[in-house]
């Protein structure tokens, strides 16, 4: 996923509030290679990079440049903003809004590099700087957005927006700025501003406590096993890992099954001992419900605080406040999308449950399928039905061929762009590669950095970042980077990928394209600076090309023999995509509905006394309370929505997937993989970034609003 920029005027905040599929994982420390005395010389962030496309001068960047870079960047932006606020001329679009877009150049440069490295190549030093500067950057943003002189100018322009003769993109920019100020609290009187500040501080404190409790509850919840025989079903490496984990806690000779973040736990797919499965599942599902790590009072208070903040800002609920800025626009629209899917998804989950029950009965189990049984028996059904053998597939997915003959070649066929590797630009790690991105006529578009391999200094997952956002106003061309965690093969051997890794390469390149093919005037509206329920649309759209027959034919070849992948294997990959989708989709939807309900509490409602009763009632009301399919996250360990910045937003993944599936089906129905189709999509969606309302962009491309039909097919639910 890409990180969502929110505002050039406060890049810092934008980068701090990046979008991720999971909350940031802790990253292991690395050796600090940068206490270099040469930092006394020029700080490379203070002036534009002299490199092509203003590429980051990684050869000159040292850790010691960050703090002074942030300080100087904030100081400069404060001065730039002060000049706008005190301009004696009456406010105009140019001297206020465009002027704001031009501020913060140095702060943007240091932030983009710093927050990228904090995810992709971190260190103790970088983490310490982040802890120190995150609150400073948030305060810096507030100082700008709560400046009454500045807001008076923006507000006056906004009131006159229809008489200023603005083109649509400029008008949208003005509206975005106004909304940003209003949502930060610029309209409030001093007493209300003080109350907002106190509520924000209390919220931040509770979020930190939630996170700390969850971390401890997750660690404490690890299940200790005395007898190796009880681990039957786990493979040798998992057993070794469990023994190592126990030893690390001073439990020599025992085995420790650590918990991961979702309700569902990976070991449940293979543990044969039913009683042990139950123990692991209950340890997971009861996190945050008792003892010193009890999160119940914290979430109840967080829900109440958010309701009060929404009320202060003039919204009926927190969800209404959050969604007002999204493509869905209202909690009702997001909720309706989920509700529309409930019947098909529940029916599929019930059918999957029946298959599993039949297997349990055949084996003479004599029990009803429980949540801790599902994965174990689903895996048996999967193996019997699809025989999807990873080892048979990988030889056809050699990394370099997937990248060049798969991803790059497909993008050339669709969009006319070519990627040509260059080795003259500095990088932050020797495994990072740089490519020129050229348009069909050979003209330069920007730069693409590729950082695909796992290493201890990188956090988990896959994502896209931009070092430079495209902007005609600032004369900048895009510089973007894709990050993944592919385990690299030993020296001299080819790196062979799983299909999931192949699909993720297409996905992340979809985000990269959104940044690269951006054709916006203003940085605030460029590239992936779009609502989070829209941002995963271009990425998921590109995913589906990975299985298009002519695309497969060009890249999926055996790394030794060059033989094309057998159709039988492709068929199994496609069939396996639909496997267990009833369970997967339902557990996700249950969590998304729970999230929306917690954030639709009204400011004047009495505080929630019984968190578990609230949760039960919510799931029952929506008809998603299947005993064997619990929500992906229960309330007390739902880190996305309490501390994670995804409050009232967990629905967004599925919302964006609906757009992607609907758009892809449309493309396939109108000629499939052609230059014409690529060009149409490029102009209508990729080039436009956030320059118009997302639904308007979509309808202009598709000719109508999206429906869920294609998504149901994509997930094999119909
Ligand atoms: Zn993504």
Nearest to 173 by CA among 151, 154, 188: 154
Residues 95 and 183 reside in one and the same domain: yes
The string of pLDDT tens digits covering residues 406-461 is 999 999 999 999 999 999 999 999 999 999 999 999 999 999 999 999 998 988 88
**332 flagged as catalytic:** no
Nearest to 645 by CA among 14, 4, 8, 18: 18
CA 658/CA 534 separation, integer angstroms? 10
Give the contacts of 687 (CB within 8 A, at least 6 positions apart). 517, 518, 519, 520
Structure tokens given for 478? 């895009």
Residues 164 and 282 reside in one and the same domain: no
Indicate the DSSP class of residue 594.
H
Instruction: Identify the pLDDT of residue 385.
Output: 79
Instruction: Say what percent of the chain tops pLDDT 70.
Output: 94
Instruction: Identify the pLDDT of residue 41.
Output: 61
Instruction: Identify the pLDDT of residue 3.
Output: 43
Nearest to 598 by CA among 324, 318, 321: 318
CA 537/CA 104 separation, integer angstroms? 29
User: In the predicted model, what is the mean pLDDT of the chain?
Assistant: 92
Tell me whether residue 599 is in a domain: yes
Catalytic pick among 508, 536, 543, 615: 508
Residues 307 and 276 reside in one and the same domain: no
Indicate the DSSP class of residue 138.
H
CA 666/CA 661 separation, integer angstroms? 9
Q: Can you give the pTM of this predicted structure?
A: 0.89
CA dihedral over 329, 331, 333, 338, signed as positive or negative: positive
Least confident span in 31-40, 50-59, 370-379? 31-40
Residues 51 and 175 reside in one and the same domain: yes
Instruction: Say what percent of the chain tops pLDDT 90.
Output: 84
Distance in Å, CA 459 to ligand 1 centroid: 15
The string of pLDDT tens digits covering residues 601-614 is 999 999 999 999 99
Instruction: Identify the pLDDT of residue 717.
Output: 86
The domain total for the chain is: 3
The string of pLDDT tens digits covering residues 233-283 is 999 988 998 999 999 999 999 999 999 889 999 899 999 999 999 999 999
Residues 150 and 259 reside in one and the same domain: no
Distance in Å, CA 583 to ligand 1 centroid: 22
Residues 303 and 253 reside in one and the same domain: no
CATH number assigned to the domain comprising residue 29: 1.10.1370.40
Distance in Å, CA 461 to ligand 1 centroid: 10
What average pLDDT does this structure show over 329-341?
A: 94
Q: 602, 625, 644: which is the final residue of a domain?
A: 644
pLDDT band per the 50, 70, 90 thresholds, residue 156: very high
Nearest to 585 by CA among 711, 435, 409: 711
Distance in Å, CA 452 to ligand 1 centroid: 15
What average pLDDT does this structure show over 118-127?
A: 92
The string of pLDDT tens digits covering residues 530-577 is 999 999 999 999 999 999 999 999 999 999 999 999 998 998 888 888
Tell me whether residue 88 is in a domain: yes
Residues 383 and 310 reside in one and the same domain: yes
Instruction: Tell me whether strands 418-422 and 433-438 are parallel, antiparallel or unpaired.
Output: antiparallel
Residues 173 and 27 reside in one and the same domain: yes
β-pair partners for 675: none
DSSP three-state, residue 485: strand
Tell me whether residue 588 is in a domain: yes
Tell me whether residue 535 is in a domain: no
Tell me whether residue 516 is in a domain: no
Task: Determine contact, residues 667/498, Cβ cutoff 8 Å.
Answer: no
Residues 311 and 175 reside in one and the same domain: no
Residues 25 and 109 reside in one and the same domain: yes
Distance in Å, CA 391 to ligand 1 centroid: 26
Tell me whether residue 447 is in a domain: no
Q: Residue 19: pLDDT above 50? A: no
Indicate the DSSP class of residue 264.
S
Residues 278 and 367 reside in one and the same domain: no
CA 380/CA 355 separation, integer angstroms? 11
Residues 299 and 267 reside in one and the same domain: no
The string of pLDDT tens digits covering residues 613-642 is 999 999 999 999 999 999 999 999 999 899
CATH number assigned to the domain comprising residue 622: 1.10.1370.10
Q: 626, 644, 662: which is the final residue of a domain?
A: 644
Distance in Å, CA 599 to ligand 1 centroid: 24
The upper half-sphere exposure of residue 456, i.e. CA atoms within 13 Å in the direction of its Cβ, equals 6
> Which residues constitute the domain of residue 249?
221-287
Distance between first and last Cα of the chain: 27
Tell me whether residue 124 is in a domain: yes
Convert 75-96 to b/e letters by CB count within 10 Å (16 or more is b). Answer: ebbbebbeebbeeeeebebebb
Q: Residue 7: pLDDT above 70? A: no
Tell me whether residue 464 is in a domain: no
Q: Residue 24: pLDDT above 80? A: no
CA 205/CA 171 separation, integer angstroms? 38
CA 418/CA 400 separation, integer angstroms? 16
Q: 593, 617, 644: which is the final residue of a domain?
A: 644
Q: Residue 389: pLDDT above 80? A: no
């Amino acid at each position: 996923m890409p990180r969502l920029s929110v505002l050039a005027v406060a890049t810092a905040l934008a980068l701090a509030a990046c979008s991720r599929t999971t909350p940031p994982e802790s990253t292991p420390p690395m050796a600090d290679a940068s206490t270099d005395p040469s930092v006394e010389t020029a700080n490379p962030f203070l002036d534009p990079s002299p490199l092509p496309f203003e590429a980051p001068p990684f050869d000159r960047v040292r850790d010691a440049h960050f703090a002074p870079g942030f300080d100087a960047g904030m100081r400069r932006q404060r001065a730039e903003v002060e000049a706008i606020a005190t301009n004696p001329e009456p406010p105009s679009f140019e001297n206020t809004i465009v002027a704001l877009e031009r501020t913060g150049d140095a702060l943007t440069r240091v932030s983009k590099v710093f927050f990228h490295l904090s995810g992709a190549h971190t260190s103790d030093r970088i983490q310490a700087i982040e802890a120190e500067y995150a609150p400073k950057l948030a305060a810096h943003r507030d100082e700008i957005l709560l400046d009454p002189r500045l807001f008076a100018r923006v507000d006056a322009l906004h009131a006159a927006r229809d008489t200023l003769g603005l083109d649509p993109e400029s008008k949208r920019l003005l509206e975005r700025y106004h909304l940003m100020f209003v949502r930060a609290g610029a309209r409030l009187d001093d007493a209300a501003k003080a109350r907002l500040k106190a509520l924000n501080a209390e919220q931040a404190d509770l979020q930190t406590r939630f996170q700390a409790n969850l971390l401890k509850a997750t660690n404490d919840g690890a299940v200790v096993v005395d007898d190796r025989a009880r681990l039957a079903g786990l493979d040798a490496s998992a057993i070794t890992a469990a023994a190592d984990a126990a030893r690390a806690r001073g439990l020599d000779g025992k085995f420790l099954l650590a918990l991961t973040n979702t309700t569902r736990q990976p070991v449940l797919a293979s543990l044969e001992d039913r009683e042990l499965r139950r123990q692991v599942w209950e340890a997971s599902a009861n996190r945050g419900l008792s003892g010193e790590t009890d999160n119940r009072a914290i979430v109840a208070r967080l829900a109440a605080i958010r309701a009060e903040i929404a009320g202060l800002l003039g919204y009926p609920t927190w969800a209404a406040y959050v969604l007002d800025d999204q493509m869905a626009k209202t909690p009702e629209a997001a909720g309706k999308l989920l509700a529309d899917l409930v019947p098909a998804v529940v029916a599929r989950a019930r059918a999957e449950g029946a298959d599993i029950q039949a297997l349990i009965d055949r084996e003479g189990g004599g029990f009803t399928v429980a949540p801790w049984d599902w994965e174990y028996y689903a895996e048996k059904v999967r193996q019997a039905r699809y025989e999807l053998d990873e080892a048979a597939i990988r030889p056809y997915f050699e990394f370099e061929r997937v990248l060049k003959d798969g991803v790059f070649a497909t993008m050339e066929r669709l969009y006319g762009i070519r990627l040509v590797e260059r080795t003259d630009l500095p990088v932050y790690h020797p495994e990072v590669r740089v490519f020129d991105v050229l348009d069909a006529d050979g003209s330069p578009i920007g730069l693409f950095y590729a950082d695909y391999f796992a290493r201890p200094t990188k956090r988990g997952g896959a994502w896209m970042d931009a070092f430079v956002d495209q902007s005609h106003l600032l004369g900048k061309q895009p510089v973007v980077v894709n990050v993944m965690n592919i385990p690299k093969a030993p020296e001299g051997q080819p790196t062979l990928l799983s299909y999931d890794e192949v699909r993720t390469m297409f996905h992340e390149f979809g985000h990269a394209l959104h940044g690269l093919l951006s054709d916006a005037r203003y940085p605030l509206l460029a590239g992936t600076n779009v609502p989070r329920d829209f941002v995963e649309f271009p990425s998921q759209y590109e995913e589906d090309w990975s299985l298009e027959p002519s695309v497969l034919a060009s890249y999926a070849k055996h790394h030794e023999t060059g033989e094309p992948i057998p159709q039988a294997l492709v068929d199994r990959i496609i069939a396996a995509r639909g496997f267990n989708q009833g369970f997967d989709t339902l557990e996700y939807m249950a969590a998304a509905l729970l999230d929306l309900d917690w954030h639709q509490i009204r400011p004047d409602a009495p505080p929630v006394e019984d968190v578990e009763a609230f949760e039960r009632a919510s799931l029952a009301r929506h008809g998603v309370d299947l005993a064997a399919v619990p929500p992906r996250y229960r309330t007390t360990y739902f880190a996305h929505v309490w501390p994670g910045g995804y409050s009232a937003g967990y629905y967004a993944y599925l919302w964006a997937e609906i757009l992607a599936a609907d758009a892809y089906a449309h493309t396939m129905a109108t000629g499939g993989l052609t230059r014409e189709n690529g060009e149409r999509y490029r102009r209508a969606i990729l080039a436009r970034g956030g320059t118009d309302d997302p639904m308007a962009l979509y309808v202009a491309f598709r000719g109508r609003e999206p429906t869920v039909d294609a998504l149901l097919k994509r997930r094999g639910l119909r």
